[in-house]
Amino acid sequence: MDKMESRNKRKNKLVNFLNISLIILLIVANIYFIKLNINIDKKRNLNINELNSQKNNFNTSETKTKELEKELTHLKNIDEEINEIKNEYFENLKAFEDKVSNKEVDYKIAYLTFDDGPYYLTHKYLEVLEKYNVRATFFTIGLDKESCYDNRSKSCKELYAKTAKYGHTMANHTYSHQIFYGLYSSTNSFINNVKKQEKLIKDRTGITTNIVRFPGGIASAGSLRNSIVKELKNLGYGWVDWTASNGDGGFVASKQDAMNNLKKTINEDIEVILFHDYSNITLSILPDVIEYLQNKNYVLLPLFYESKMINK
């Protein structure tokens, strides 16, 4: 019996020892894996932050790619986009002119027009207009324009393109302007002059113009007036004279006279003002003219075919 008891006691001690050992081992194993889990959770959180940051960076880079592709498309199609914005601009001009005409706004409109150029002075005219952010209309001719009537300046050829580039309306004043040398000898003579000048403007600027001014005004056409107007209409042209001027087409004694002449003729809400870009006097008073008109609430704009001032 004693032997049995003693064996049982040893057996129980062994079982207890094994049990305690197992418990300790399991506790240690649990602690080990808890530490591993804490570390891996830390790493996981860092990696999640890193992943989120990269997702943001990826989205940013995608957005950047789209912006760059849009910019590239815009640059590649810039010619078409210029034409679109120009069309929109002239539609808005028409809307503005209608509002002025109907007295829906406090503004008035003055269309500055310069005839018979380009001349060597036209460079200076462009500088003044550029300084004041004004666009005008240039009724150009073609005869004798290789040297701008003198040899002091660059060829007039580049002035057509420069005038167009600066956003001014290129208009047709016939190729020769030879009022007393056959321009008005027949309808064909006049129309051929218009077509010749149209080709010249197109060759030098890429622009097809559709506004014409009769050299000397439409009154100079005399009895040919109606047939010329009919032919111009068939060619898609509108025509315009002027409603105001400073008299620089004739003799003007001084700057003051030129200014006074102009002021006397400015009356309406919409004026088409005649100047000549060969005139030194007009050039010298041009800043004053611009300021005078703007102070009277005139907005200075280039002519356009759809304008109510263009006869069609």
Partner 1 sequence: MNKISKYLSIIIPIILLIALAINILKYYTSFSDNKNIVKDSNSYQEKININNKKNEELVTEINKIKTEKEDKIWEYERWIKWNQEIKEKIN
Q: Which stretch binds partner 1 (CB under 8 A): 27-35, 186-194, 239-247, 269-277?
A: 27-35
Span from 77-85, 112-120, 194-202, 228-236 in contact with partner 1 (CB under 8 A): 77-85
Integer Cα distance of 145 and 133 in angstroms: 27
Shortest separation between residue 130's beta carbon and partner 1, angstroms? 10
**Contact with partner 1 (CB under 8 A) among 10, 14, 81, 182:** 81
CB of 151: closest distance to partner 1 in angstroms?
A: 28
Could you tell me if 213 and 172 are in contact, meaning their C-beta atoms sit under 8 angstroms apart?
Answer: yes
Cβ atoms of 281 and 248 within 8 Å: the answer is yes
Q: Does 8 bind partner 1 (CB under 8 A)?
A: no
Residue 19 CB, nearest distance to partner 1 (Å)?
Answer: 5
Residues numbered 246-285 forming contacts with partner 1, rule: CB under 8 A: none
Nearest distance, CB of residue 302 and partner 1, angstroms = 9
Q: Site size for partner 1, by CB under 8 A?
A: 54
Q: How far is the CB of 207 from partner 1 (least distance, A)?
A: 13
Minimum CB–partner distance for residue 225 and partner 1 (Å):
34
> Residue 177, Cα to own-chain centre: how many angstroms?
32
**Given candidates 2, 3, 4, 75, which one binds partner 1 under the rule CB under 8 A?**
75
Residue 87 token pair: 């069309």
14 lies in the site for partner 1, by CB under 8 A: no
The interface region with partner 1, picked from 40-48, 195-203, 231-239, 283-291 by CB under 8 A, is 40-48
Residue 186 contacts partner 1 per CB under 8 A: no
Answer for which of 7, 82, 199, 280 binds partner 1 (CB under 8 A) is 82
Interface positions, 115-174, toward partner 1 (CB under 8 A): 135, 165, 167
